[in-house]
Amino acid sequence: MKSIAVLALTLLTASPLGAQDAKAIIGRAAQVYRSLASLRADFVQVIDNPMIDSAASKGTLAQAGSAKLAMRFSDPPGEAIVIDGEHVWVYTPSTVPDQVVRLSVPSGGPVYGYNLLAWLLDRPSERYRPLYLRAERVGGRSTDVIELIPAVPNLPFTKAVIWIDREDALPRRLEIHEESGATRTLTLSRLRVNESLPDRTFTFKVPSGARIVDQ
């Protein structure tokens, strides 16, 4: 009977401790993220869509504060998503070579859908229910894997998973399960923080011959 009682006590206490660990881990990552003056990284992005073939891309990512972001692709070459603080510029010449989409930056929060880091690390304790999944190595780094279930309406995904570095609390991989059924995975490497980034990093120059489409 004593062993059964000990087992029952262990089962009762294990879940809250795990939940608290997940909250602490994602909370630390959010605090580190907010404190960054800048972040640069190489990325590999894979989009798995059950309706079409999977698509992979890669390039470099740069961010300064919550208002500026640049994802410049080396594969497909020339593609870019740039947030300059006033507009979002989306250029995908592999699909629409002569068009640049320009959107106004909404006020009051990060540009969800383009800035995946802010999507998950902006006030996560208010937006998600975190669940600790496992420990895993990514690119030779030890990480904690946390699942985030939306706790507020109007987030366009059913769940997300984030791999957080145990040493520096920076994200090493993001996995977004979108409402469409697609899964978007962004893996980061060669992270550099608090570097001085030139203004041109977040400046988008419209290619010659391309027309701007406002949305």
Model confidence band, residue 111 (pLDDT cutoffs 50, 70, 90): low
**Pairing relation of β-strands 211-214 and 99-104?**
parallel
CB burial string 173-193: b at 16+ within 10 A, e below: bbbbbbeeebbbebbbeebeb
Instruction: Determine the pLDDT at residue 154.
Output: 79
pLDDT tens string 182-215: 999 999 999 999 999 999 999 999 999 999 999 8
Q: What is the pTM of this model?
A: 0.85
Is 56:46 a contact under the CB 8 Å cutoff? yes
Name residue, tokens 């030779």.
140
Domains and CATH numbers, the chain: 2-214 (2.50.20.10)
> Measured between alpha carbons, how far is 71 from 114 in angstroms, rounded to an integer?
9
Q: In sequence order, what DSSP letters do the residues of the chain get, joined into one string?
A: -HHHHHHHHHHHHHHHHHHHHHHHHHHHHHHHHHH-S-EEEEEEEEEE-TTS--EEEEEEEEEETTTEEEEEEEETEEEEEEE-SSEEEEE-TTT-TTEEEEEEPPSSS--TTT-HHHHHHSSHHHHEEEEEEEEEEETTEEEEEEEEEE-SS--SEEEEEEEEETTT--EEEEEEEETTS-EEEEEEEEEEES----GGGG--PPPTTPEEEE-
Model confidence band, residue 13 (pLDDT cutoffs 50, 70, 90): very low
pLDDT tens string 59-81: 999 999 878 999 999 999 999 99
